[in-house]
Amino acid sequence: MSAQVWDEVFDVVVVGSGAGALTSALLAADGGASVCVVEKSEYIGGTTAASGGDMWIPCNRHIADQDTREEAIDYVTRLSDGRAYDPHLIEVYVDTAAEALDYLETHTGLVTRAHKGLPDYYAVVPGRIPGTKDVPRSVSCQPYPAVAELGAEWAARVNPSPWVKPPEVAYAEAIEVVPREELLRRRAEGYRAKGGGLVAPLLKALLDRGVSVRWSTPGRDLVTNEAGGVIGVVAGEDGALQRLGARKGVVLATGGFEWNEDMVKTFLGYDVKPCTPWTNTGDGHRMAMRAGAKLGLMTSFFSYGVMHDPWEIGRDGNPLPQMEMGLGAGTIIVNQQGKRFMHGGYTYNDFSHPFNFFDQRNPGFTNKAPGWCVFGAAKWEGKGVFGGHVVDGVIVGPNGQPAPSWLLVANSIRELAEKMGVDPDTLEETVARYNEFAEKGEDPDWGDPQQVRSATGPDTTSLKPVLGPIYGAILQWPGTLGTSGGPKIDADARVLGTETPIIDGLYAAGNTAASVLGGTYPGGGSCVGPSMVMGYRAGRHAAAQPTRDIN
């Protein structure tokens, strides 16, 4: 499209409202640019607000004396294993991350702490992965008094997460004991924490700077000039479209494409269950592709195991998928043949990939979804499975609800196998083999990452036998925290083009861009951290550009 008439003109237009979007808007505004943020959803915050809000920040100020640039670069380089489309971006990220975090804490109401007890995820294999740290490179956003700072109307716009609860507690504090009175106070005063504890102070900072922030305003298309440069955005609902000019640049930060069924089938190749806002339908990707963007890592995504909560229904009226990789000690995950095909205790970013394993011995995808999490009587004790428990031999939910159809219960492994639709002999053999070794605290098939990580011996093992009756099984799916492929970007988040080295005026950040860490997930917050950092670089760079004539 070519520009003719603008409804409004700004220096920078940001499409999306997650960490990358809001940070880019902040840096652009602080650089003297006029800025408009447009968000598709009725809520502000995108995937970030629905997340735990951690950020993986090497050499952050909390642990600066215990980390080095070289170790962090070595670590990510080893994990990416040649898949990073531009290895230099790993260095850019490591060199910018702490600086960007310090900027946000200095110029907004954001407060972070080291997420104690959360080492790098691949510290579970010590000695084999260079550069890992047992100290937390992950930082946790602290609770933020959103209602007091933003007012009730704006605070209500910060996207509440159905997956990460409760909203008034930060991860770092959840590990500690927070008095009930304090939790009740935060709830009453409208605090936001975790992802909301990052989004809310950023939103407050933008509003204080006079940035225009608009919800229910999806980005629809980019406006380009005759040279192919991006000079604006068409945004809004059908029948109410607006042409927003951008004299310095447009930042695309609309999330991933995990809710776009066609794109998932085309690029990922198999179904994954998203634990992200439904608005992540690849809008930014498609706009960038139409503008001639190069793509990278489009077959990559951030992974998590997913189960349907037996007792909870989501906003859409369907069973609510929960981020669960098995149910911990005393459970195993089996495929539709009744064979164990993974250990659920390793890093969640690796969880979904075995579902896409092609078995050349029996041509086909042996582990195709769904799998099953199988467990024994111990999982019904106390709060039980997702809060369910046994009453007079019957499984009931927290409020007395009957067990749903996707939660299977049986008095024997054979009976359970029949209900699951798998071969009873195979499942009995699988459980018996696992139990034999679990009694010894051993797992020759898959190892035990908790035992490997700990120096305190087998008491920390996650290996416990599956014993009954009663036995249970619940469907286990490959899930995603967002896709990690998209337009390739340079060190300042400028989008690279197929016909030109750089598409003038176009930036991308977050899950809308190809992962600068090569699709790796080195520790907690490896989605949000890169989103924020590259948004920081995008906004700073865009604000420094000369004002273009876009008429």
Asked if 443 and 391 sit in the same domain, the reply is yes
Predicted local distance difference test score (pLDDT) of residue 459: 40
The predicted model gives 451-472 an average pLDDT of 66
Predicted local distance difference test score (pLDDT) of residue 451: 53
Asked if 333 and 253 sit in the same domain, the reply is no
Percent of the chain past pLDDT 70, that is, above it, reads 94
Q: Is residue 242 part of a domain?
A: yes
Question: Alpha-carbon distance 285 to 222, whole Å?
Answer: 11
Helix (H) or strand (E) holding 152: helix 152-155
The predicted model gives 14-39 an average pLDDT of 98
Which position has the higher pLDDT, 298 or 186? Answer: 298
Asked if 423 and 505 sit in the same domain, the reply is no
What are the tens digits of pLDDT across the range 345-365?
778 898 999 999 998 988 999
The predicted model gives 298-322 an average pLDDT of 84
Q: Are 357 and 367 in contact (CB under 8 A)?
A: yes
pLDDT at 2 over 50: no
Predicted local distance difference test score (pLDDT) of residue 324: 82
Asked if 406 and 423 sit in the same domain, the reply is yes
Q: Are 367 and 341 in contact (CB under 8 A)?
A: yes
Q: Is residue 550 part of a domain?
A: no
- Say what the pTM is: 0.93
> What CATH number is attached to the domain comprising 392?
3.90.700.10
Number of domains comprising the chain = 2
Q: Is residue 2 part of a domain?
A: no
pLDDT at 455 over 50: no
Predicted local distance difference test score (pLDDT) of residue 347: 85
Question: Alpha-carbon distance 366 to 419, whole Å?
Answer: 20
Q: 296 pLDDT band (50/70/90 cuts)?
A: very high
Tokens standing for 72?
């962090």
Asked if 476 and 493 sit in the same domain, the reply is no
Asked if 97 and 143 sit in the same domain, the reply is yes
Asked if 388 and 438 sit in the same domain, the reply is yes
Asked if 314 and 293 sit in the same domain, the reply is no
What are the tens digits of pLDDT across the range 238-284?
889 999 999 999 999 999 999 999 999 999 999 999 999 999 999 99
CB atoms within 10 A of CB 392: 5
Q: 314 pLDDT band (50/70/90 cuts)?
A: confident
Predicted local distance difference test score (pLDDT) of residue 1: 43
Question: Alpha-carbon distance 137 to 134, whole Å?
Answer: 9
The predicted model gives 497-514 an average pLDDT of 97
Q: 100 pLDDT band (50/70/90 cuts)?
A: very high
**Which residues fall within 8 angstroms of residue 394, CB to CB, at 6 or more apart?**
402
Q: Write down which residue in 480, 511, 530 finishes a domain.
A: 480
Question: Alpha-carbon distance 198 to 535, whole Å?
Answer: 14
Predicted local distance difference test score (pLDDT) of residue 173: 56
Q: Is residue 506 part of a domain?
A: yes
Q: Is residue 78 part of a domain?
A: yes
Mean of per-residue pLDDT scores for the chain: 91
Burial of 315 by CB count in 10 Å (0-12 exposed, 13-18 middle, 19+ buried)?
exposed
Question: Alpha-carbon distance 91 to 239, whole Å?
Answer: 45
What are the tens digits of pLDDT across the range 161-184?
877 766 666 655 555 667 888 888
Q: Which residues span the domain enclosing 410?
A: 302-480
**3-state SS, one letter per residue, for 434-498:** HHHHHCCCCCCCCCCHHHHHCCCCHHHCCCCCCCCCCEEEEEEEEEEEEECCEECECCCCEEEEC
Q: Write down which residue in 426, 456, 480 finishes a domain.
A: 480
Asked if 523 and 474 sit in the same domain, the reply is no
**Rg of the Cα atoms in the chain:** 24
Nearest CA among 542, 533, 532 for reference residue 507 = 542
How many Cα atoms within 13 Å fall on the side-chain side of residue 308? 19
Q: Is residue 551 part of a domain?
A: no
Predicted local distance difference test score (pLDDT) of residue 539: 98
What are the tens digits of pLDDT across the range 118-159?
899 998 776 678 999 989 999 999 999 999 999 999 999 998
> What CATH number is attached to the domain comprising 127?
3.50.50.60
Burial of 437 by CB count in 10 Å (0-12 exposed, 13-18 middle, 19+ buried)?
middle
Asked if 476 and 496 sit in the same domain, the reply is no
Asked if 205 and 234 sit in the same domain, the reply is yes
Q: Is residue 99 part of a domain?
A: yes
Asked if 145 and 269 sit in the same domain, the reply is yes
